[in-house]
Amino acid sequence: MNLAWHRVDLSLRHLFRISRSAVATTPTVQVTFSHDGITGHGEASPSKRYGQSPESVESALAKLDLAAALADPYRLEDLDAYLIETIPAEPAARAAVEMAVTDWIGRSLGQPQWRLWGLDPGRAPVTSFTIAIDSPDAMAERVREADAYAVLKIKLGGPDDRGVIEAIRRVTDKPIRVDANEGWSREQAVREIEWLAGQGVEFVEQPLPAGDLDGTRWVHERSALPLYADENAGTSADLPALVGAFDGINIKLMKCGGLREALRMTHTARALGLKLMIGCMIESSVAITAAAQLTPLLDHADLDGNLLVTNDPYRGVTLDATGRLVLPTTPGLGVYPLAHHQPL
Amino acid sequence: MNLAWHRVDLSLRHLFRISRSAVATTPTVQVTFSHDGITGHGEASPSKRYGQSPESVESALAKLDLAAALADPYRLEDLDAYLIETIPAEPAARAAVEMAVTDWIGRSLGQPQWRLWGLDPGRAPVTSFTIAIDSPDAMAERVREADAYAVLKIKLGGPDDRGVIEAIRRVTDKPIRVDANEGWSREQAVREIEWLAGQGVEFVEQPLPAGDLDGTRWVHERSALPLYADENAGTSADLPALVGAFDGINIKLMKCGGLREALRMTHTARALGLKLMIGCMIESSVAITAAAQLTPLLDHADLDGNLLVTNDPYRGVTLDATGRLVLPTTPGLGVYPLAHHQPL
């Protein structure tokens, strides 16, 4: 069993600003798992918010000895336990390894991942397309460019949130989802959400800092819109506490550590009566396609990380004319490297 | 796609009495799913406690049109939704159909189910062996016959519970699990559990009627032993309410409606901090082996239904010398009909 990796810096089409930061490129670590003549692909997109970097990912990967840990590559439950024990603070690295081994298994069985999970690819939802924080005029221009997407996700928490929404509403009446990325105070959240409810907004993601779950409960009681947890919903163990504070959760592979935990979160959230979406970081088609495999089980998708970059080295999931995710029919995750990039 | 079934009455080695009833035979409905030259096996063991009978199972099965409902046998998520919509009150029939299709998929992929779930069969636990209610002397005699099993499950809720445990303790010091099958009142439960805690009992299953969850909470605060939910733990949606009343749950395929829901319950219970066991009805090796496939993920198993009968028409999971479940290495569920029974 051979694990290999290399860094790929993804270049963003436009400067990407959220309430915390702004970036022009995003570092990723592309991972391959090879065994018995088959190669599976995975990807880590480390998050500063969670204390990770490409260096911390590469250092975590260097600690692993899969051949010693796994009697059989199919033993994903043992793999998960080994990764959590060995590199607990590196969920993006863990997600990348599990993704590559999962891809390997699907390829070795000759079946797409969605089929192995018992899913109907026709149930994959549309993906929202993210408009990062900018001036109202620049954001409205981004919305015009996003003609192909049926639902928009607007990053708020900037200096002129209402101006942004008004500028966007002048150019489109598409459904909007709003992501505050922990950027509001309690009173501000209630006030902004009340105003947003009159603007064709579907739901609001993570209005308050994750540390203020009591405050989120307070906001939830007064909220005219459903609230979705992002930073508050790391893994399945976080979910029971969210009942009464949020209406749904946003799963991300780079937060929860992989597809298997994403499935655990899905089952747990359903039992708790929470709605489900899956989101992403800035990622290539590898991690986006991995996340897309799960979407027939979910209510919403926000899988546009690969659409925001200009140098995606892979192809995988695509979109149809209505912005719906089209899952690959090829084995495993269904991703392949583009020919003009270095062979993987 | 062809679904077929026939009734098999399983004969019990000994009269089987629990707090509610006593039986000498148990009716089951054996199901097969055939498609593309491959046949998968499933089984329903209907429960009177939940208003089912072999007739209600057969009538439910006759309502199904799998070829119309399923574009592809792999679409287990669609199958689940179809079964819940079409035969909602027949979880045993639903479990049987899903089991047969799951077996079919594993056979078509040439892989054992545990491997498709990413599990290590070496993590399968010992199974407990059930001693049904009888006179203390007769129960002690059953314990002597159960020499091959490492853990005993004792059905209580009869007229002389303490006499039973004392008689058993005279012949063995094996770990004991106690199942009250809803047979106690609140005060009685606290009193009996306190006494049982001094008798080498590991945990107590379902002390109070399922309808008295508040009472179970009250008992739980005063309980010297962990409490496991059986009748209170039907499906994953039941589990959030059990926190603070129980320490663990007993999954049964015939209650929850199938392997997929059993996996949902597993993930949900883990997120809620509940321990996990999987149990059974009186069943042949088909349903017992199906349940056994999941045990590497669980804390305990009580999968002895097939060991209590004299005319099991199948073989599947076996036990090693220590009473541990040995999962089949053959594709699918790994069950096969015995030659001297009618061909399936």
User: What does the pLDDT read at residue A18?
Assistant: 64
Q: How far, in Å, CA of A120 to CA of B117, rounded?
A: 19
Residues of B in Cβ contact (< 8 Å) with A297 = 77
Q: Which residues of B touch A243 (CB under 8 A)?
A: 240
Distance from CA of A106 to the nearest CA of B (A): 10
Count CB neighbours of A21 within 10 A.
11
Measured distance CA(B180)–CA(B219) in Å, rounded: 13
The answer to whether the beta carbons of residues A106 and A39 sit under 8 Å apart is no
Buried b or exposed e, range B207-220, using 16+ CB within 10 angstroms: bbbbebbebbbbbb
Distance of alpha carbon B68 from alpha carbon B82, whole angstroms: 10
ipTM: 0.94
- Lookup: tokens for B307: 């060991």
Q: Is the pLDDT of residue B159 over 90?
A: no
Nearest-neighbour CA in chain A from B76: distance (Å): 5
Cβ contacts of A329 on chain B, cutoff 8 Å = none
A187-194 own/partner pairs: CB under 8 Å, 24+ apart: A189/A219, A189/A223, A190/A219, A190/A222, A190/A223, A192/A156, A192/A161, A192/A162, A193/A219, A193/A223, A193/A224, A193/A225, A194/A224
How far B220 CA lies from chain A's nearest CA (Å)? 20
Q: What is the mean pLDDT of residues A326-341?
A: 90
Coil, strand or helix: which one is A314? strand
Compute the CA torsion angle A312, A57, A17, A218 (nearest 10 deg).
Answer: 130
Q: Say if CB A217 and CB A208 are below 8 A apart.
A: no
Helices (H), B149-212: 161-171, 186-196
pLDDT band of residue B46 (cuts 50, 70, 90) is very high
CB contact under 8 A, A120 and B71: yes
Tokens of A41: 């692909």
Which chain B residues have any C-beta within 8 angstroms of a chain A C-beta? 71-72, 74-79, 109, 111, 115-120, 236-237, 239-240, 243, 260, 263-265, 267-268, 270-272, 296-297
Cβ-based contacts of A264 with chain B (< 8 Å): 267, 270-271
Query: A272, B240: Cβ pair inside 8 Å?
Result: yes
Non-local CB neighbours of A154 within 8 Å, separated by 6+ positions: A130, A131, A139, A164, A165, A168, A176, A177, A178, A179
Q: Cite the beta strand spans of chain A per DSSP E.
A: 2-17, 22-35, 38-44, 128-131, 151-155, 176-179, 201-205, 227-229, 248-251, 275-278, 300-301, 314-315, 318-319, 325-326, 336-337
Tell me how crowded residue A162 is: count the other CB atoms within 10 A of its CB. Answer: 13
pTM for this model (two decimals) = 0.95
Q: How far apart are CA B26 and CA B132, in angstroms?
A: 15
CA distance A88 to chain B (A): 18
Check B240 against A71: CB less than 8 A apart. no
* CA separation for the pair A59, A42 (Å, rounded): 16
Q: Write the residue in A74, A240, A265 that is nearest to B240 by C-beta.
A: A240
CB contact under 8 A, A271 and B297: no
pLDDT of B315 higher than 70: yes
- Residue A136 to chain B, least CA–CA distance (Å): 42
Across the interface, whether the CB atoms of B267 and A270 are under 8 A apart is answered no
pLDDT value of residue A343: 42
- Cβ-Cβ contacts under 8 Å, A69 against chain B: none
Q: Which token pair is B9?
A: 């009455």
Interacting residues of B343 by C-beta distance below 8 A, sequence separation 6+: B337
Predicted confidence (pLDDT) at residue B270 exceeds the cutoff of 60: yes
Is 50 exceeded by the pLDDT of residue A280? Answer: yes
Token couple for A70: 């796994």
Of A72, A118, A239, the CB nearest to B271: A239
Longest dimension (CA), chain A: 59
The rounded radius of gyration (Å) of the Cα atoms in chain A is: 19
Q: In which residue are the tokens 């069950």 written?
A: B335
Q: What is the tens place of the pLDDT at every residue in A187-216?
A: 999 999 999 999 999 999 999 999 999 999
pLDDT tens across B103-140, in order? 999 999 999 999 999 999 999 999 999 887 778 888 88
Q: What is the 3-state secondary structure (H, E, C) of A69-88?
A: HCCCCCCHHHHHHHHHHHCC
Shortest CA gap B267–chain A (Å): 5
Give mean pLDDT, residues B91-110: 98
Phi, psi of A284 (to 5 degrees): -80, 180
Residue B76: Cβ within 10 Å count: 20
State the pLDDT at residue B20. Answer: 63
Cβ contact (<8 Å) for B75 and A118?
A: yes
- Which of A242, A268, A270, A297 is the mutation pick for testing B, counting most B CBs within 10 A? A268
Pairing outcome for strands B336-337 and B314-315: antiparallel
The bridge status of strand A176-179 relative to strand A201-205 is parallel
pLDDT surpassing 50 at residue A342: no
Q: Where are the beta strands (DSSP E) in B181-306?
A: 201-205, 227-229, 248-251, 275-278, 300-301
Angle between helix B186-196 and helix B213-221 axes, rounded to 10 deg: 40
pLDDT band at A340; cut points 50, 70, 90: low
The per-residue pLDDT for B340 is 54
CB contact under 8 A, B240 and A109: no
Mean pLDDT to the nearest integer, B38-67: 95
| Residue B126: alpha-carbon gap to chain centroid | 14
**Beta-carbon count within 10 A of B67 CB:** 12
pLDDT tens, A16-75? 776 567 788 999 999 999 999 999 999 999 988 788 999 999 999 999 999 999 999 999
Given a cut of 80, whether residue B198 has pLDDT beyond it is yes
Optimal mutation site among A83, A119, A120, interface B, most CBs of chain B within 10 A: A120
Read off the DSSP letter of residue A278: E
Contact A43, A28 (CB under 8 A): yes
Over chain A, what is the mean pLDDT? 94
Residue of B323, B300, B305 whose CA lies nearest to B150: B323
Residues of chain B contacting residue A269, judged by C-beta atoms under 8 Å apart: none
Q: What is the DSSP letter of B317?
A: -
- Across the range B16-42, mean pLDDT stands at 89
Q: Which whole number is the average pLDDT over B58-65? A: 98
Give the one of B119, B120, B268 whose C-beta lies nearest to A271's C-beta. B268
Token pair for residue A58? 């590469």
Which residues in chain B have Cβ-Cβ distances shorter than 8 Å to A265?
271
Nearest residue on chain A to B123, judged by CA atoms? Answer: A78
Task: For residue A325, give both structure tokens.
Answer: 């995710």
Q: Which residues of A touch B118 (CB under 8 A)?
A: 74-77, 79, 260
- Nearest-CA distance B104 → chain A (Å): 13
Q: What is the mean pLDDT of residues B333-337?
A: 96
A222-235 residues labelled b (16+ CB within 10 A) or e (exposed): ebebbbbbbbbbbb
Averaged pLDDT for residues A288-310: 96
> What pLDDT, on the 0 to 100 scale, is given for residue B27?
96
- pLDDT tens digit string along A208-265? 999 999 999 999 999 999 999 999 999 999 999 999 999 999 999 999 999 999 999 9
